[in-house]
Amino acid sequence: MANALTKFQLFRRKRSFCFILPFLAFTQEHFVGDSQDLRHASKFSSSNCQRFKMEGIVVRRVIPSDNSCLFNAVGYVMDHDRNKASELRQVIAATVASDPEKYCEAFLGLTNDEYCAWILNPDKWGGAIELAILSEYYGREIAAYDIQTTRCVLYGQGNNFEERVMLIYDGIHYDALAMSPFEGAPEEFDQTVFAVRTVGPVEDLALHLVKDQHRKRSFTDTANFTLRCAVCQIGVVGQKEAVEHAQATGHANFQEFR
């Protein structure tokens, strides 16, 4: 279920992991140039980029791993701004507080008031609920591509939104996807908002990029990765065992090992 929440949060700092109680919610830019620019762009390629005819390539724009990657990734694709987390957390809290019937404890996993306080904490992650709210707030679809499964979850589908933005998710982190005129082009030339009616070719390129990242195993398998408790050094496999260990011992710091 897309909006289901577990009772723990996993976050990453330099490949270290921590389970935080109480829970985890699992201006359009255009490139303008002449035909010579486009011919030049068509000569570039990269394992991390996919060519889009002569109009550009889909690239992954890295967002800092600071527990607010989802919000700042959305800020980048919507507003070309990597520092929107605080503002967007406020938007989400206000939206949830305004409709306690919809955003009830059964839906959120916390009471309405508890959730609003939780989401305003900069150490807490966002997930499906937050992406759905932000899609409504901006009036645009948000396509979130999962590297591990190579699937795309489309938030805002069915709302007749005319535009779409794209994110990429590696299991514990969100980055932004953009169309760039060529590899290495300044970010100011990124196009991050696309018309839904003509998004097909860009969508195909995004999926190619995601599959390429999947082949390189550029994702964290939270069901099967191996962790070691930094407190007692006991090894566990997957998020489920780590959560159980945290519940039983109160130990909340884990490090990944291979």
Residues 168 and 236 in one domain: no
Pick the catalytic residue: 69, 80, 175, 245? Answer: 69
Asked whether residue 13 is assigned to any structural domain, the reply reads: yes
List 37, 40, 66, 212, catalytic entry: 66
What pLDDT is recorded for position 169?
A: 95
204 in a structural domain: yes
Tell me, yes or no, whether 2 lies in a domain: no
CB 225 within 8 A of CB 214: no
The tokens describing 235, both together, are 């090894």
Does residue 211 sit in the same domain as residue 230? Answer: no
Give yes or no: residues 210 and 244 share one domain. no
Domain of 166 in residue numbering reads as 9-215
Give the model's pLDDT for residue 228. Answer: 76
Please say if 251 is a catalytic residue. yes
Residues 6+ apart with CB under 8 A from 218: 147, 170
| Bridge partners of residue 59, in order along the sequence | 178
Residue 166: strand pairing partners: 143
- What per-residue confidence (pLDDT) applies to 234? 82
Residues 230 and 209 in one domain: no
* Annotation says 221 is catalytic: no
For residues 145 and 137, the answer to whether their CB atoms sit within 8 Å is no
Q: Are residues 193 and 78 in the same domain?
A: yes
Same domain flag for 130 and 202: yes
Cβ(194)–Cβ(43) below 8 Å? no
pLDDT for residue 45:
36
The torsion angles phi and psi of 78, rounded to 5 degrees, stand at -85, -45
- Please report the DSSP string for 33-49 in residue order: --HHHHHHHTT--BTTB
Whether residues 204 and 147 fall in one domain = yes
Residue 196 shares a structural domain with residue 232? no
Active-site choice (18, 49, 173, 190): 173
> What per-residue confidence (pLDDT) applies to 258?
62
pLDDT at 55: 74
Q: What is the pTM of this model?
A: 0.72
Q: Is there a catalytic annotation at residue 173?
A: yes
Answer yes or no: do 186 and 231 share one domain.
no
State whether 23 and 88 are in the same domain. Answer: yes
State the pLDDT at residue 254. Answer: 60
Residues 166 and 243 in one domain: no
How many Å apart are CA 161 and CA 141, to the nearest integer? 6
- If one counts every other C-beta atom within 10 angstroms of the C-beta of residue 202, the result is 23
**Is-catalytic flag, 30?**
no
Quote the number of domains for the chain: 2
Q: Quote the pLDDT of residue 203.
A: 95
| pLDDT average per 10 residues of sequence, the chain (258 residues) | 37 35 30 36 38 71 95 98 98 98 96 97 94 98 97 97 97 95 94 94 95 88 70 77 77 64
Report yes or no on 197 lying in a domain.
yes
Same domain as 136, residue 34: yes
Residue 38's pLDDT is 34
Output the domain CATH number for residue 106: 3.90.70.80
Do residues 138 and 75 touch, judged by C-beta distance below 8 A? no
Question: For position 244, what pLDDT does the model report?
Answer: 79
**4 located within any domain:** no
- Non-local (6+) Cβ contacts of 63 within 8 A are 69, 72, 73, 76, 82, 173, 174, 175, 176
